[in-house]
Structure formats: C-alpha cells, structure tokens
A and B are shown apart, each in its own frame.
Chain A
Amino acid sequence: MNIELEGPAFVVGDDINTDYIISSTRKKETLDPGLLKAFLFESIDPGMASSIRAGAILVTGRNFGCGSAMEVAVTAVVAAGIRAVLAQSFARTYYRNAINNGLIPVECDTRGIVNGAQLHVLLDPAGARVVDRTRGCEVAGHPLPAIMLQILSEGGLVPYFRKHHDFVTP
C-alpha cells in the first residue's frame, strides 16, 4: 500500500484552528464543499482562497486543525484540490477526518519549506518521506498505522465502508 504524490507547497502558520480553515458561520449557508472552498482561510486573509492551486500540498505548523471537529474543514480543503497536508502536529479530530476523506496527513518537520516549493510525498507501511526538491532535502514523517493507511489507500472511509461494511483488521 504505497501512496505517492507531487505538488507545490502552499504554506500557512501554526495553531490554525478549524474556524480559520473555514468559518463555522459559513456552514449555516451551505455544506457544499465546492462553494465553501471560496472562503478557505478567510479569517486569516480573505484573498488566500483564490491563490490556492489544485494539486497544492498544504504545509502548516503545529496543532493544525485544532478546535471544532467539523468536517467541512477537511472537505473544503479537498474541494480546493489539495491532496495532502503536512504539519508539525495535527489536532486528532482533523487527522481522523483527513484520513476518512482521502486527504493525506503527514506529520513531519515542516520548518524551512517555502511557499511554492516543489514537494514529493511518499507513504508506505514503513513510514512517510517528504522530498523538498526546491531545497534539495528530505524529511521523514511519522508512519501511519495499517488501518489508517488502508482507509487512505482505498480512497477514504466511504469507499472503505462500501467495500467492507465494517472495520476490518488489515
């Protein structure tokens, strides 16, 4: 079960809570991630959402996704075309929601990764690796337990449950 992808870094800071990812006031108007993606990170900078390119890899600091467990904070990120999030650490609910929606969370040392850096991310049962082609260096990420890697590689919890109808031991 290997997962591999490549894309440009989109860098945000530390302690980005889910309200900063997508304001909870927005979800009383719609739950459609295709519409919500226009409001990503608006509390930090209203112009930020329009500068996210599909295929980008979100690069963050400590405690990414803290606060509410609301899942639109993941689905809106996925709708913007982001396929992976790198963080020094995640809030556990964001980490779970990311895996369940096929958004690849990698816990690694993100210091020094600059906005726009070309990144190559590789996940396998032994661990995670992030190659920063711009700086020409590689950092190791924490490995994912088998069940998380399986849910991710099957595309998220929806395809996983359609296939298995329950949690199975990988």
Chain B
Amino acid sequence: MPGKTISEKILSRASRRDARAGDLVVCDVDVAMGTDASVPMALDYFEQMGATRVFDATRLVFVFDHYAAAPSAATFPLQARVRAFASRHGVVVYDCGEGVCHQLMVESGRTRPGGLIVGADSHSVTGGALNAFATGIGSSDLAATMISGRIWLKVPDTIAVTLTGRTASGVFPKDIALALAGRLGADGAAYQAMEFDGPGASDLEVEDRLVLSNMSVEMGAKAGIFRADEKTASYLASRLHGPLDPVEPDRDAVYARTVNIDLSEIGPVVAMPHQVDHIAVIGECVGIPVHMVFIGTCTGGRARDIRQAAEVLFAGGRIAPGVHLVIAPASRQVETSLRVDGTFDRLVSMGATILPPGCGPCCGTSPPVPADGANVISTANRNFKARMGRATASIYLASPATCAASAVTGRITDPRECGEALR
C-alpha cells in the first residue's frame, strides 16, 4: 500500500482503521468548539435529538466572539441560554471580550498536533497550523458531536503546497495566502486538504502559519495542515502539558496534485471586492480611496499582525483625515501584550479605535458597520458584498502592513513605500 498524507494518518488514528482518501469514516473528536453564532442553534438540535447530556464536557468549548458585546436585543438572550446550558453541563465558556474562538483554540493549548478538532465556524481550519486536522462544521453536526463525541468525515485527498524561497521585505503571510487564493480560486481546494511543506513553510513562525491555515477555507479546503517542528513545540511548550504526538506525511504519500510557490516571487496583493480570489497586485490598486481600515479577526488580529501594522503607522506618523482606523485584537492575551508594550497607547493617541477582542465587525454581527458607499481595507478573510453589514460598501483584503499604509495616506498604498513616501 502507498504511504499516507497527514490527513489520512490523523483520520486513521481518530477512526481506528486504515483510512484512505475517499473513505467515509466515523471519527472520535478530540475537541469540539462552538460560538455564540452557532451554539444557540446547536442547542435547538441537541434538544430536538432528545439528548439530555453531553458526551464529555471537558472536550467541549463555547466562545462568545460574534456578538461581543451583544449588539441587539435578540442576541443577549442567545448568549444567556448558552451560559445556562454550559453551567448545567460543565462546559467551559470564553465569554464576551476574551477573544476570537480560533485564536483561543490554539492559544489555550486545546489544539494538539495530530488531533482532530471540529468547530462550528468555517475558520476552524486555523488549527491546522499546529498539525491538527481541524475543520468547520455546522450547528447540527456540533449537536451530534456534543451527544456522541463523534462525527462522520469523508477522508479528503490532499494538495501538497510546497513553499520555497523567502518573502521580500513588505510581503507578509497574508499576501502568500491571498496570492494562493488567486491562483487556486475560491473552490480550488474544495473537499480537499492542503498540506503546507517545504523550506518556506519551515521558515514561517507559528503565527504566520495560522494565517495560511485560516485562509485555506477560502479555497474550499477541508483542512490546511503544517508539519509540527521545533517552532510548534516551542509555541506549545507553555500552553500544553504532556508529550506531543505529531503526525508526518509518509515519503510516498499520494497527493492529488502539488502546487509550488516561490515566496520570493510574491509581492503585496489585494483581494478586490467582492471575492476573495479576485486578486490584484498592489500596483493595480494604489490610489483607491479608503474610509475605514480594519485590523483584526482570526486571520489578522494577532500580536504579530498588529505590530506589523503599528510599525507602518508609527513610521507614517498619522492616520489620514477622514479614515476610521479600527483595531480588534484576537484575544485578551494579544490585547494585554500590546497594552504592556505601549503599542495600543501610541495607536490610540494617533486616533485609532481599539475594540474589545472579538470577531463581529468582520461579518457584520457587531459594530462598527461601514457607511453606505464606503471603501474598507481589512486584514480579514472575506470581502463578500454586505459581509460587514452594508451591501453598498466595498471591502478590500490585504496584509496588516498594506492596511496600515493605506490608513496613513487615506488611499490604498504599497507598504514598501512607507519608508520615504509616507513621511
């Protein structure tokens, strides 16, 4: 028999059988996660299914991040219901302001190398950066997993994404992810897993890998997985107890195809409205006016992202008149680290609005909502029409540095020019 991919190995382990691409297997789940946007419906399904208890409360996590804080009269009772359920069954709740679910799933040590994570939110693929098979599900699947601890999965075949070379100055993981989305298309990895490998993947820090894994679902991927290495171990050292049990692909693993990316050939790019795979190189869109700049989300709201943006903003020395710069740290840990080192104080004094940790503005479930006709440039992962709550707004997606450079000038700007042009 030929060798196996990381996905085939993890799903073999989780299903206790020899799982190969195309097989349909029932797997034991390590951790199942839901949010204030998905758990309320899951509780409806749970009750309708006739269940009265959860399979193992210690393997469930609920996070309030879409409605943090509750933006409408209808959302507060949804959260209250989830709190009551969690308290009755002993499930941990990360309440409003504690962070974005995907950041908390990695930051809290709940995402183990080699593990199977399901999350009732599409960006649950983020956990692949830590060598887990992490995938998104809906509320009904979450309910079934809460009851049984299990889920059926079709074992995906895998696209090997080989990263070589080094990115130039001014080019960031978000540019790699967007360039890949442009190359593969919004359904280019549909039903498939992506396995990131090669020297360029080893060079990436864990916080950078999280960006690529997170964006893999924008190509339709079921999972976006990295190998575990010393960077993974070091990231997890203070977060996770016990020996790690990572999974490597076999040398003779069979891939659906291989995509080679030379990182040195990638420059800053922008996803144009209203599709994530509608990619333009920065030179094609410089000068487009922007009215709101959003730095945050499960893609671009980590300390590393916000520091990259801050560096450009500090070099620029201002936020352009008429631009609303909104920053939402991905978690309380992120927020604390940026308060302690003075980054947030400096950004606030320049006129930035710092929101509590959460993900609402990205998908229009919490304010701020852009004005009619506004152009927004954002570190988020999706730019669908009306995504941020206003159908007449246009959303451009870019790296934290490109977003920050655009905040300085009030128009889409190449971050590589911020050294001189911005002064």
Q: Which residues of A contact B (CB under 8 A)?
A: 15, 17, 19-20, 23-25, 27-31, 43, 62-63, 66-72, 74-75, 89-93, 96-97, 100-101, 145-147, 156-158, 161-162, 165-167, 169
Contacts and interface: CB of A to CB of B under 8 A. Distances in A.
A167 B45 contact: no
Given A24-B363, A69-B138, A158-B48, A167 B144 contact: yes
B67 A28 contact: yes
Contact of A157 (B141, B363, B387): B141
Most central of A63, A70, A165 by chain B CB within 10 Å? A70
A161 B136 contact: no
Given A24-B365, A28-B67, A147-B24, A66 B138 contact: no
B122 A167 contact: no
B191 A71 contact: no
Nearest to A66: B186
B304 interface: no
A68 B49 contact: no
A86 B245 CA distance: 42
Nearest to B140: A100
A75 B275 CA distance: 24
Given A92-B191, A166-B150, A15 B141 contact: no
A147 B154 CA distance: 11
B238 interface: no
Given A19-B386, A69-B120, A165 B140 contact: no
A166 B391 CA distance: 42
Interface of B: 24, 26, 37-38, 40-41, 44-45, 48-51, 67, 71-72, 74-75, 78, 120-122, 136-141, 143-144, 147-148, 150-152, 154, 186-187, 190-191, 220, 222, 275, 363-365, 369, 382, 384-387, 389, 391
Contacts of A30: 74
A43 B386 contact: yes
B75 A97 contact: no
B122 A93 contact: yes
B140 A68 contact: no
Nearest to B150: A167
Nearest to B42: A71
B214 to A, nearest CB: 14
A20 B385 contact: yes
Nearest to B148: A166
A25 B363 CA distance: 7
Contacts of A70: 37-38, 138
B29 to A, nearest CB: 11
B371 to A, nearest CB: 15
A155 to B, nearest CB: 11
30 contacts: A17-B384, A24-B37, A24-B363, A25-B364, A27-B37, A28-B71, A28-B75, A43-B384, A43-B385, A63-B186, A66-B220, A69-B38, A69-B121, A92-B191, A92-B222, A93-B137, A93-B138, A96-B137, A100-B140, A100-B141, A101-B140, A145-B24, A146-B24, A147-B24, A157-B49, A158-B48, A161-B147, A165-B148, A166-B148, A167-B152
Contacts of B121: 68-69
Contacts, number: 142
A166 B369 CA distance: 42
Contacts of A62: 187
Contacts of A19: 363, 382, 384-387
Contacts of A68: 121-122, 363
Nearest to B24: A145
A138 to B, nearest CB: 25
Given A17-B384, A69-B120, A145 B74 contact: no
Nearest to A164: B148
A111 to B, nearest CB: 16
A24 to B, nearest CB: 5
Contacts of B386: 19-20, 23, 25, 43
Nearest to A23: B386
Across the A-B interface, give the 9 residue pairs with the lowest CB-CB distance, nearest first: A63-B187, A100-B140, A161-B49, A97-B138, A25-B364, A71-B138, A69-B122, A43-B386, A71-B139
A96 B38 contact: no
Nearest to A30: B74
Most central of A25, A90, A101, A156 by chain B CB within 10 Å? A25
Nearest to B51: A161
A96 B24 contact: no
B188 to A, nearest CB: 10
Given A67-B382, A157-B45, A28 B74 contact: yes
A17 B241 CA distance: 39
Contacts of B37: 24, 27, 70
A90 B138 CA distance: 14
B220 A92 contact: yes
Given A93-B122, A158-B48, A15 B186 contact: yes
